[in-house]
């Protein structure tokens, strides 16, 4: 794309630790009709739908709230990314080499992607030379000048998220969109949290796979999306058909544990943060409680809930050594009484800021952790290791089919 064609003609119309920087968008507890039902993947719209239109000169537009319609002459060859959500999508659609940034330390986020891609032949992500957008220490700080320096053809990130950072307002976002390249992204769908006030009239909430479908059209990769969505749909159907009766399903608590404090999340709350848990139909241990963004529990409070299973977020090749955390909890007089600790059912869980490839592995992982009798035991996991090698007969989706889809080998 040349500079003029990269201009945004459609118009733009928190963190618990430093390791979570860039995951803003906390839930305010609201639920909206924009969330797709669990177990379904949005089918690809045809090119004559309002979401994608193609002009006679082969320019096409793709639409997603809050940015509206964005025009493209071809798939962008340089893309600024803030979160793993969109880095994973770029890789899924054969455009991983186009990514030039991440919002946080790439050696952390990049290795998380590596942990999953290790099990997909030929799939990788080169994170070594990526620019880190967040330059803050203890708070998120993104300098406007970085966008000019990167000079990308697309900012694959939510403009409302950037506007939420200190030192930014909508005029700054509009300036970057006009002078450098458009934004295209939706992040507050992660928890259905509130975007900055001036974006709320334009905002809609999408499921993970709704977002993935729209991004696939940006990269002219609807065929890849369709194949990956079919893999996901088949896996969810298989899992849901083999679930035990509701009365026999475990109560599940999703947490982050830091320095003796639990930060709880509801597994059935709206948003794509739960796209790897919600379809599994488990009992939400925090249902009816105040659990949510900013809530804290001590050992005694969590013992009152006493979940059958504890899932620790960001547990795969990421920020937390869950085996060490398990030992710490077990050494506390109240923590050792937790049913999940007594039964060895505190597990490393997935990254809530997940893209489609991550979601496939995280669905499989969570199914094994919650229902080992139905789907096989989750193997032991050591901090920093890749996603475990699962025997072929115990896998819940076809790795080869996914790797071929990423490579563009779609029939």
Going through 75-187 in order, the beta strands assigned E by DSSP cover 79-81, 101-102, 131-132, 154-156
Report the alpha-carbon distance of residue 50 to residue 196 in Å, rounded. 26
pLDDT at 138 > cutoff 90: no
Q: How many CA atoms lie within 13 A of 71 on its CB side?
A: 19
Using the 8-state DSSP alphabet, how is residue 378 labeled? P
Per-residue pLDDT, 2: 39
pLDDT at 45 > cutoff 60: no
pLDDT at 49 > cutoff 50: no
Is the separation of the CB atoms in 295 and 263 below 8 Å?
A: yes
- pLDDT (tens digit, 9 = 90+) per residue, 15-34? 343 334 334 444 333 223 22
Over residues 53-64, the mean pLDDT reads 77
Over residues 314-330, the mean pLDDT reads 95
Cα–Cα–Cα angle for 67, 68, 72, rounded to 5 degrees: 95
Our CA dihedral for 387, 106, 326, 365, rounded to 10 degrees, sits at -30
CATH class label, 4-231: alpha beta
Burial of 48 (0-12, 13-18, 19+ CB in 10 A): exposed
Q: CB-based contacts of 99: which residues, under 8 Å, 6+ apart? A: 79, 80, 81, 87, 90, 91, 125, 130, 156
Q: Residue ranges per domain, the chain?
A: 4-231, 244-406
244-406 in CATH: which number? Answer: 3.40.50.1980
Is the separation of the CB atoms in 110 and 137 below 8 Å?
A: no
Judge if 4-231 and 244-406 fold alike in CATH terms.
yes
Split at pLDDT 50, 70, 90, the class of 347 is very high
Q: Would you say the pTM of this structure is higher than 0.85? A: yes
Q: How far is CA 328 from CA 315, 342, 345, 400, in A?
A: 15, 13, 14, 39
Helix axes 222-241, 84-92, angle to 10 degrees: 110
Report the alpha-carbon distance of residue 408 to residue 392 in Å, rounded. 23
Over residues 289-314, the mean pLDDT reads 93
Q: How many CA atoms lie within 13 A of 365 on its CB side?
A: 28
CB atoms within 10 A of CB 343: 11
Nearest to 351 by CA among 106, 88, 163, 34: 88
């Amino acid at each position: 794309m040349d500079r003029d064609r990269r201009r945004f003609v459609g118009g733009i119309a928190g963190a618990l630790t430093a390791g979570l920087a860039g995951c803003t968008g906390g839930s305010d507890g609201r639920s909206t009709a924009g969330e797709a039902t669990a177990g379904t993947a949005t089918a690809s719209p045809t090119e004559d739908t309002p979401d994608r239109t193609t002009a006679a000169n082969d320019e096409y537009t793709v639409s997603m709230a809050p940015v509206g319609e964005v025009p493209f002459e071809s798939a962008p060859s340089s893309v600024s990314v803030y979160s793993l959500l969109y880095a994973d999508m770029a890789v899924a659609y054969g455009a991983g080499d186009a990514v030039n940034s991440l919002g946080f330390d790439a050696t952390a986020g990049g290795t998380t992607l590596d942990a999953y891609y290790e099990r997909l032949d030929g799939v990788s992500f080169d994170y070594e030379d990526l620019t880190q957008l967040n330059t803050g220490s203890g708070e998120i700080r993104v300098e406007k000048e970085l966008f000019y320096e990167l000079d990308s053809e697309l900012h694959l990130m939510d403009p409302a998220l950037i506007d939420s950072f200190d030192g930014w307002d909508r005029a700054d976002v509009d300036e970057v969109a006009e002078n450098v390249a458009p934004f295209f992204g939706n992040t507050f769908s992660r928890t259905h949290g509130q975007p900055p006030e001036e974006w709320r009239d334009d905002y809609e909430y999408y499921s993970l796979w709704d977002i993935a479908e729209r991004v696939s059209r940006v990269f002219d990769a609807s065929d890849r999306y369709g194949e990956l969505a079919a893999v996901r749909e088949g896996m969810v159907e298989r899992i849901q058909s083999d679930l035990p009766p509701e009365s026999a399903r475990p109560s599940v608590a999703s947490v982050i544990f830091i320095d003796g404090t639990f930060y709880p999340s509801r597994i059935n709350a709206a948003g794509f943060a739960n796209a790897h848990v919600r379809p599994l139909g488990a009992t939400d241990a925090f249902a009816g409680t105040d659990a949510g963004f900013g809530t804290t529990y001590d050992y005694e409070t969590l013992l009152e809930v006493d979940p059958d299973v504890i899932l620790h977020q960001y547990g795969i090749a990421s920020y937390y050594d869950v085996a060490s955390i398990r030992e710490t909890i077990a050494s506390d007089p109240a923590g050792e009484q937790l049913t999940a600790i007594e039964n060895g059912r505190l597990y490393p869980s997935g990254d809530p800021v997940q893209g489609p490839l991550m979601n496939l592995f995280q669905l499989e992982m969570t199914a094994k952790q919650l229902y080992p009798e139905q789907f096989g035991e989750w193997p032991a996991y050591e901090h920093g290791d890749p996603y475990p090698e699962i025997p072929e007969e115990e896998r819940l989706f076809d790795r080869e089919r996914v790797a071929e889809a990423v490579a563009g080998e779609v029939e």
